[in-house]
Structure 1
Amino acid sequence: MSRRTWFITGISSGFGREMTQQLLEGGDRVAGTVRKPDAIADLKKKYGDQLWVAELDVTDVSGVHSVVDRAFAELGSLDVVVNNAGYGLMGPAEEFSDAQVEHVLDTNLLGSITVSRSAIPRLRAQGHGRIIQISTFGGLVAFPGGSIYHAGKWGIEGFTEALVGELAPFGIGVTLVEPGGARTNFRYGSSRLGTEIEAYRGTPGGAARKMIEDGTSVPVGDPAKMAAVIIASAGQNPAPKRLVLGSDSYNFVHKALTDRLAELEAQREVAFTTDFVEEA
């Protein structure tokens, strides 16, 4: 099996680091981005030129274009592009500042869009490639206390699903990854809160803040196992449109889609009555 070259954003922790470690150990080459290069100094020391590193904040649009261009130029080609960089913003929508809302959307939504759009012309020119978007079951399911986070993830789900049809004619596969809770630092390390509004205490919207503050809920997902499935998906042809990872993700998504279909079917008669009818 030939070795592949991966471009992964946000490799300092979580799925990004776990995937990078597994790929390097397996002999693949990784071009990884980080905001703080010191965070992966151990990997760079161990794997040397097998790990190409660039400092990048995905909210820097010109920086994204520059880094992606440089990765292709210096490495020759990229086989798989993984949009992984992101973080959680938890709590009722009212608790966040405008700056917080803009930053999380710039990171989780626009950052991923910019990376993909930067890579697509090169992937198209080389006639092959794979784009893997790390999303969450929260891209298909929404809970109180996650409104702003869900906004970005539902947005990236729509963008990425549309890419499937746009890029298929050029031999580029696209996959959305929807993991449930995993034992990374995402929930209690990278997730952020707003300024608490006392009125939300004890309400469904305030439950997300309490979970983060309590820090006692243990996710069921094994990040090493999830990373291995994500990596394996790059070898599937055709590319899977979605990868649901974790029993919690499966259960939440299954219920949400089942309920949504039932609600849709109940509206069929009314929906059809609103079509324009030509007069005889």
Structure 2
Amino acid sequence: MAGISILFDPYGRQARLFPGLLTIFPALLCALAWFPQLLSGLGSTLLTICSSCGLLYALSSLARTKGKQVEKRLLKTWGGWPTTLLLRHSNGDLESHTRQRYHAFLAKSAKLAFPDAGTEARDPAAADAIYASAVKWLKERTRSKEFALVEKENAQYGFRRNLQGMKSFGISLCMFALLLCLASVVFVAKVDWSSFHAHLGKTISTIIAEQPAQRWGALAVDILAVFAWLVVVNDEWVRQAGYQYAYALLACCDKLKITSANRSAGNSTKAA
């Protein structure tokens, strides 16, 4: 864990490393269930060497690359970044008075001329460019522990995006491990296959009893992983995280406004 802490910051661990590890975990668990000797001796040494040579970093880099590829497609589907969408006059997800408050703060603080609804409708691309610039200004001023919720939601979005990017690879790896394990169970089973149909129940019971519990447990995890990939990990799951991050980031306008007001009041008191 200490080595991982050196290689990855909190965001890197949650958003990049964890999706990569979750992708290979079911297959790795199946391998360890069949070859438990990998946990000790030479196997453990080889795993340590691979990790030291950048295996974990390469895995996290792959997850980020796949996630970025998915992100390009998602942005086209969504019509832009959630932060930009929420700042649009035409968007109804954010309450209008709250949007006006954010517009007023960002326009004054970032020194940008925010468009009204009519101007936005006439030139939406120009309006989006202003919103994007304002969001960039806001991001740079919320990179601290003081804005822990923003960091948390950002990492959550990165985690879901990168896991969605690894989806096809994860499903393929799980199915490969599942089929290989089932084939191995059948291959090593000490049963009379010539009388399989005649004694189906007895044959199945024999096969189940022959294999250690950890092997069946690993297969169960593999099946659950396939289910999770197919049902949980999807575009909507990523979109929800993207909007949660956008709401948290834009809400910092109020916090920054209060902080600026307090600083101004403090400076006035000192001057007096």
TM-score, normalised with respect to structure 2: 0.25
TM-score, normalised with respect to structure 1: 0.24
* Higher percent of residues as helix: 2
More relative contact order, 1 or 2 (CA 8 Å, 6+ apart): 2
